[in-house]
Amino acid sequence: MMNSPQISGWQVLATKRNLMVSCVLGLFFLAIGMDIRAELGAGHDQRKMSKRDTTSTAAIWQPAAGVKWQIQLVDAVEDTTIDTDIWDIDLFDNTAEKIAALHNKGRKVICYFSAGTYEDWRPDISKFDTADFGSNLDEWPGERWLNIKSSSVRAIMSSRLDMAKQKGCDGVDPDNIDAYGNENGLGLTEADSIDFLTFLASESHSRGMSIGLKNGGDIIGSVIDKMQWSVNEQCAQYDECKTYAAFTEVNKPVFHIEYSGETIESGGSGDTPVSAADTTTGSKATSTATAIVTPASSSAAAAAETATVTATATVDATPVSTSVAAAATSTDADATKTGSTDSDGDDEEADKDDEDDTSADATKEQKHRYGHGHQKLRARAVLSSTLKASACNAANADKFSTVIKNMNLDAWVEYC
């Protein structure tokens, strides 16, 4: 019988101790390895996040308060020589080539479209569902409020944003987001507009474009963080500029428009603007008597003689039709442009149109909306210094990017 080797107690104890030490060391190094891996992974994720955030932020253009701007919402831009930093132009009327031409001159381009209304002259009208239509807009034939909560409406607006991106727009100016303040026929509220603007901002930013708030002073506090600027109409006239100054307080521009009912100034001299009453005997001046008519018109010739002018231009004054207007001298080369008018030369009929349209045009001028594409750009001219001072020196508007425009001369503009 063979004898088995005897294992002493200390040997067993030593073996267990070594095994325990090995386990502890193994767990220790495993923990260290896992911690290092976690830190490396977190750092990688953080770098990815930082890179993504930086890229996203850099892609969104944020203009500074006070930058000079120009707005033309009627027809395609023809004159790109105007010395201004930013253009606000119609999305549908202007091509990618036109936007590229502005970019080549160092300009930024904001593309306008109506986000809250249906306009029956747009090329994508077949996409709309009549179930999404609300009330007609007063004084604006062919336009109706839209149900901005509708997924169908939002899909159409997303398609318009795709178009803006494809054409090279730097940002967008979505109009008519303030249905809550109008008889919209759909029960739309401020909360609906805030949600809609949140949607539009997200969609615009995801395409690398900026976005601004059009009017909508009541909801500024809820959306200003998502907006890169404000486009305001007539805050000086309605004493609302303090409300919109919330944007300039955070160095975001307020692109401010005041509309003039005056005629243009004669030769740029003096503070008293030429009006229809100044140039015609027995004619009634309207609040928008600002058209320049053909020199062949006898009443226009009388206006030219009275104003002692040296240059004339022709404009289409639709929807205001008048046989009386002031001709003006402009140092701008565009003042010599000519084009067709809606007048057929019948002064008697034109005078009748003046009387019929006076009240309607006065109503239109009070609305916080820009007119449709019925007017034609033909010339720019100079405002009276009195009107310019009243618009440019409005309380709280000292940092605004202000232009003063006439409804019938779309790109006629004075800057503050």
pLDDT along the chain (416 residues), means of 10: 54 65 67 57 45 51 96 90 93 98 97 98 98 95 97 98 98 98 97 98 98 98 98 94 98 93 48 36 29 29 31 32 31 34 39 44 40 44 72 91 78 71
* Residue 408: per-residue pLDDT: 65
> In terms of Cα–Cα distance, which of 309, 345, 346, 332 is closest to 378?
332
Output the pLDDT for position 145.
Answer: 98
Ranges of H-type helices in 106-250: 151-167, 190-206, 220-223, 241-248
Query: In this predicted structure, what is the pLDDT of residue 59?
Result: 80
Q: How far apart are CA 21 and CA 15, in angstroms?
A: 10
The whole-number pLDDT of residue 406 equals 75
Q: How many CB atoms lie within 10 A of CB 75?
A: 16
Report strand pairing: 171-175 vs 108-114.
parallel
Helix locations, 186-323, DSSP H: 190-206, 220-223, 241-248, 276-279, 298-307
The separation between the first and the last C-alpha atoms of the chain, rounded to the nearest angstrom, is 118
- Contact (CB, 8 A) for 78 and 379: no
CA 221 – CA 325 distance, rounded (Å)? 44
Query: Which of the 8 DSSP states describes residue 274?
Result: P
Is the previous residue joined to 295 through a cis bond, with omega within 30 degrees of 0? no
pLDDT tens digits along 187-236: 999 999 999 999 999 999 999 999 999 999 999 999 999 999 999 999 99
Confidence (pLDDT) at 199? 98
